[in-house]
Amino acid sequence: MNRRSILTLAPALLLAALLPAMSPALAQSPLANPAALNAQAPATYKAKFDTSKGTFVIEVQRAWAPRGADRFYNLVKNGFYDNDRFFRVLSGFMAQFGINGDPALSAKWRQANIKDDPVKMSNTRGTISFATAGPNTRTTQVFINFGNNAQLDHMGFAPFGKVVSGMKVVDSLYAGYGEGAPQGNGPDQGKIQMEGNRYLKANFKRLDYIKKATIAR
């Protein structure tokens, strides 16, 4: 499989009975009900990511990809990306994140698909797009382009924003594990979905992570 032609594996078919129960606190969180998190984002907004390597800021332009911008806004605003790992970082290509560290919460969002946006901007250095498993399958996973990945444009990956501060931080994210399993030695997305951060902390200790993501004022 060409790593530059596909960005996410198809979602694993997981049985709800195998997943841990959601904590009472999380069950009361807005994140527990994806259908309710449908606020329209501002025309332009910034998302600040405090990470284990430092801080970077993404400026989102809703006109570029409205559905993607709205989904990202709701996820950041409600803390979905907090404590999430950059689980797929490929040097010269992209850094991917967006599987929640709590498998019970991750399961809530696995089928919360949004429809595709037309591709209006190119996947150039610093832009951010949603990963997919095919048409109209965007949920929570996103990737930041390290270089000019214009070859992704015709595949339907629609950028909705761009890193405007801290790109050196993004460049420095740990990439030593390479491609994910089974193609490479990196984390298995199915196991992340099933076991969350417990699996990543035990087996991929050097992964960088998001301490907190917020909508910047």
pLDDT band at 9 (very low <50, low <70, confident <90, very high): very low
**Burial annotation 12-43 (CB, 10 A radius, 16+ → b, else e):** eeeeeeebeebeeeeeeeebbebeebeeebee
The model's pLDDT over 10-22, given as tens digits with 9 standing for 90+, comes to 444 444 445 566 6
pLDDT band at 44 (very low <50, low <70, confident <90, very high): very high
The domains of the chain are located at 37-215
pLDDT at 47 over 90: yes
pLDDT at 26 over 90: no
pLDDT value for 2: 40
The model's pLDDT over 89-109, given as tens digits with 9 standing for 90+, comes to 999 999 999 999 999 999 999
pLDDT value for 140: 98
pLDDT at 8 over 80: no
- CATH fold for the domain made of 37-215: Cyclophilin (2.40.100)
pLDDT value for 103: 95
pLDDT at 1 over 70: no
**CA-based Rg of the chain, rounded to a whole angstrom?**
16
**Burial annotation 122-152 (CB, 10 A radius, 16+ → b, else e):** ebeebbbbbbbbeeebbbbbbbbbbeebeeb
pLDDT value for 15: 41
Asked if residues 129 and 158 have their Cβ atoms less than 8 Å apart, the reply is yes
For 162-183, what is the mean pLDDT? 96
pLDDT at 41 over 60: yes
- In this structure, how many other beta carbons lie within 10 angstroms of the beta carbon of residue 63? 12
pLDDT value for 7: 55
pLDDT value for 40: 98
Quick one: what percent of the chain has pLDDT higher than 90?
A: 84
Distance CA 144, CA 162 (A): 8
For 77-85, what is the mean pLDDT? 97
pLDDT at 139 over 90: yes
E strand or H helix at 106, and its extent?
helix 103-109
Q: From residue 135, give the alpha-carbon distance in Å to each of 21, 47, 66, 90, 207.
A: 31, 26, 16, 23, 29
DSSP 34-87: GGG--PPPPSEEEEEEEETTEEEEEEEETTT-HHHHHHHHHHHHTTTTTT-B--
The pTM of the full predicted model, rounded to 2 decimals, is 0.91
Residue 57, beta-bridge partner list: 48, 165
Phi, psi of 96 (to 5 degrees): -115, 140
Q: Which amino acid is at 32?
A: A
For 151-172, what is the mean pLDDT? 98
